[in-house]
Amino acid sequence: MPNELLAAALAARNHAHAPFSKFRVGAALEDSSGRIYSGCNIENATFGLTLCAERVAVFKAVSEGARDFRRIAVAADTDTLTPPCGACRQILWEFCGDIEVLLTNPRGKSESLRLKDLFPRAFDASFL
């Protein structure tokens, strides 16, 4: 499944709307039943309203009823593999917990990490 997930993230990257930064990112989130939800970054002229690929994938999955996730793949065209930003790490933690995070680029380089290693001492509802 990880190869299919990486391919889905790379394919989603092709749909990115990044006319300002030209930094196109794709994400693919796998739920516990193996279904894949993809997302791409979508920029806006105000930048503050821009959404990252990871958040698009999470919100798409949740809006379609998914609640239990295994892993997410993130694809960007960078030599040093690009991890989720801080805002995405927070959303991933709250909706997905300590999932596997696969990073990839179009040249076949990939890496697997745990979200807890990217986001130590995360804030969540347990603190409220």
Residues marked as catalytic: 54
| Torsional class of 97: left (φ above 0), alpha (ψ -120 to 50), beta (otherwise) | left
Query: Where do we find the tokens 């990839």?
Result: 104
DSSP labels for 25-91? EEEEEEETTS-EEEEE-B--TTSTT-B-HHHHHHHHHHHTT---EEEEEEEES-SSPPPP-HHHHHH
Q: Is 101 helix (H, G, I), strand (E, B) or coil?
A: strand
Q: CA 102, 104, 85, 16 torsion: positive or negative?
A: negative
